[in-house]
Structure 1
Amino acid sequence: MFDQSPTGRRLGAEWESHNRTFMSWPALESVWKRDLRYIRDDIARVARAIADYEYVVMLARPDQADAAQRACGRQVEVVPLPVDDLWARDTVPVFVEQQGIVIGVDFNFNGWGNKQVHDNDAYVARNLLYQFQIRGEQAPLIAEGGSFETDGQGTLLVTESSVFNANRNPGKDRDRIEFELKQTLGVTKVIWLAGVYGEDITDAHVDSLVRFVAPGVVLLDTAFPGMPADSWSRAADQARMVLSNSTDAMGRPLRIIDLPQPDPYKVSAYDDDMVTTYANFYIANDAVFLPEFGDRKADRRARDILQEHFPQRDIVPVRIDVIAAGGGGIHCSTHDLPGRPAD
């Protein structure tokens, strides 16, 4: 058993039981322009796939709820709630447990450091907590759910670029931010990775770089062999160095397993902004949902790696070309609520 946080809180691992998955119906024509209909197709496809395994709630603007329901099908519950975009991982509260009670923490979403205006998404966390009558609180710092990766046993992985950044937390040093993360999330050890400042809208969220698949075991996004070094591959190399010299909250060394990207020349609909990491997968009840990019060999290799670590779960590939071209993945578009599965 890991040493419990003095706060009595615990941030659970994603492979633990989910009550449901929250998602959001994209609404911003100013962001998606002519691709809005296609990004909605991707989101509906992800929602339908997850709904085969656990309860899915799609948040949608009241005037768009009927259209979202038609696209997602009857197995998905559409709840009218003002949203702007699809990034539920970052706008929905981060859920922790304390004395058997789920608490939703509002991390004060500010459009990833005020890079975009999200007037509705700034209030999604508090509105959702009110709508679903979940106990909530406001965090003392600004961050997004994609900033955090945990083993459920007290270890938190974070990129400095996405949290220790003046566009989120001006005037706070890293020690102060770490203290606030420990108090708020109930973790006991924070492992800081450098990340990448300013080259994507999230400032390099950890959930596209490295993910736990079990306590002491992480999958690390790695570039396709032979590709020239860039800021992203250098960030992965730095993460490997830090992780290989770190122990988790229980003192275990970390086992690092490469999760290679596809060949960019074999990726369907590839463009320069496309996120082609397999690390942005989502672990649901009895299944893992994995991006599929069109490089058959690489897609199959990623499925095999995930299947090895989740032998009791189905590995479900989902095409997300427009989501990926928009800078995200399946994990970015989903957010799990811990607890007994909903009926």
Structure 2
Amino acid sequence: MDRKTGPRPHVKLRRPGEFEPHARTWMAWPHRKDLYGSRLAAMREAYVEVAHAIAGFEPVSMVAHPDHAESARARLGAGIEVVALPIDDCWIRDSGPTFLKRDDGGLAGVSWRFNAWGEKHAPFDADDALAGRVLAHQQADIFQSFLHCEGGSLACDGDGTLIVTETSLLHPNRNPGLSKAWVETELLRMLGLEKVVWLPGDPLDLETDGHVDGMCCFVRPGVVMFEYNPDPNDLHGRILADNLAALASQTDARGRSFEVIPIPEAYDVEATSEVFARSYINFALTNGGVVMPTYGTPSGEEAKAAVARAFPDRRIVTVDVGAVVPAGGAIHCITQEQPL
């Protein structure tokens, strides 16, 4: 379909909350031996487990590089659709489209510019084009943005509010020369939203530069889950506390103060890389469920209890993503929901 530079004036678009009904979830099959080496086989097994966990709630479509599509089908089985498209990497939350709903019920989406989190990995040209290819595959309207932005940078409430972090979207490796006002204007224009809530972010995050999906998510409009670390001497815990304080000082698009449901990060898990993702909140919401990471430590039970309090009507499924998190992300990072 034709790419458009922004939403058409006569079509009203809305970015739904992730907690709203889905048509399916998208994933992307890992294949980069140069990036993942001996971990690649274990990463693929974790992707299979996540895909099947989500498929217990809703359809799953797995994008696979054409050279690896058949082997992906063999590993995933008949219940998972495999879509052969050119890809560089396997983090479709960031390289895939941000889906939108048209006011007439049709499907649309944003294709952001993607440069592998500030040109941290190469090549990334196929991933830069992936959002448009997925949207074309779904016969959805494609709205092309000039902004370098990843899906993990965005937390939307479906009611006009967006939460983002400064360390990610304002980083000079993404959008050099663009002011905060320009970035905010483009986010509102592309997503059909009314207000951007800025958090300071995480300057210690060496991979995503502090994506919001590593610290908070919307449960419903006005209600946010937010990670914490119980150790007062933990540096990352202090960063999380600073971000929570920034959230508490603001209101959403409807003038509501944010109700916060706390959830621990995986504070008792030993990091095995500089970009290790110790996040429980990096989960995938599905139709009637939550598929969340587990690390096999006591903090996991605390986190699961917090998710159960936040989503009492959803079934919780945990998946061991120990092979994925050393690369810098967890389940939310490897999934992208398509709204119903």
Question: What interval of TM-score do these two structures reach, taking the shorter chain for normalisation?
Answer: over 0.9
Tell me if 1:278 matches 2:280. yes
In the TM superposition, structure 1's runs of 4+ consecutive aligned residues that sit over 6 Å from their partners are: none
Greater shift, 302-311 or 153-162, is seen at: 302-311
- Pick the aligned partner of 1:50 from 40, 54, 71: 54
Deviation of the 1:263 alpha carbon = 4.0
**What SS class does the counterpart of residue 126 from structure 1 fall into?**
helix
Stretches of structure 1 that go unaligned for 5 or more consecutive residues are none
1:106, 1:136 within 8 Å by CA — same for their partners in 2? yes
Give the fraction of aligned pairs with identical amino acids, expressed as a percent. 38
Stretches of structure 2 that go unaligned for 5 or more consecutive residues are 1-8
- Pick the aligned partner of 2:296 from 269, 275, 294: 294
1:305–1:67 CA distance, 2 compared to 1 (3 A) = same
Tell me if 1:75 matches 2:79. yes
CA distance in structure 1 between the aligned counterparts of 2:271 and 2:42, rounded to whole angstroms: 13
Deviation of the 1:21 alpha carbon = 0.6
Tell me if 1:187 matches 2:193. yes
CA distance in structure 2 between the aligned counterparts of 1:310 and 1:161, rounded to whole angstroms: 29
CA distance in structure 2 between the aligned counterparts of 1:234 and 1:9, rounded to whole angstroms: 37
**What SS class does the counterpart of residue 147 from structure 2 fall into?**
coil
1:7, 1:186 within 8 Å by CA — same for their partners in 2? no
What residue number does 1:110 align with?
115
Q: TM-score, normalised by structure 1?
A: 0.92
1:6–1:256 CA distance, 2 compared to 1 (3 A) = farther
Structure 2 residue identity aligned to 1:204: G
CA distance in structure 1 between the aligned counterparts of 2:101 and 2:267, rounded to whole angstroms: 41
1:268, 1:321 within 8 Å by CA — same for their partners in 2? no
Structure 2 residue identity aligned to 1:278: Y
What residue number does 1:177 align with?
183
CA distance in structure 2 between the aligned counterparts of 1:193 and 1:300, rounded to whole angstroms: 28
CA distance in structure 2 between the aligned counterparts of 1:73 and 1:237, rounded to whole angstroms: 43
**1:109-135 CA deviation, whole Å, 9 max, x = no partner?**
111111111232121112212222211
Structure 1 residue identity aligned to 2:328: G
**1:256-276 CA deviation, whole Å, 9 max, x = no partner?**
222112343xx3885553211
1:170–1:263 CA distance, 2 compared to 1 (3 A) = closer
Deviation of the 1:312 alpha carbon = 1.4
CA distance in structure 2 between the aligned counterparts of 1:255 and 1:98, rounded to whole angstroms: 29
**What SS class does the counterpart of residue 85 from structure 1 fall into?**
coil
Tell me the number of residue pairs that the alignment of Structure 1 and Structure 2 aligns: 330
- Pick the aligned partner of 1:261 from 254, 259, 265: 265
Structure 2 residue identity aligned to 1:84: D
What residue number does 1:101 align with?
106
CA RMSD after TM alignment: 1.8
Deviation of the 1:197 alpha carbon = 3.5
1:262, 1:276 within 8 Å by CA — same for their partners in 2? yes
| 1:329-340 alignment runs, 5 A limit | 329-339=330-340
**1:286-339 CA deviation, whole Å, 9 max, x = no partner?**
1101110111x3212211111112111101111100111111010000001111
2:145, 2:190 within 8 Å by CA — same for their partners in 1? yes
What residue number does 1:122 align with?
128
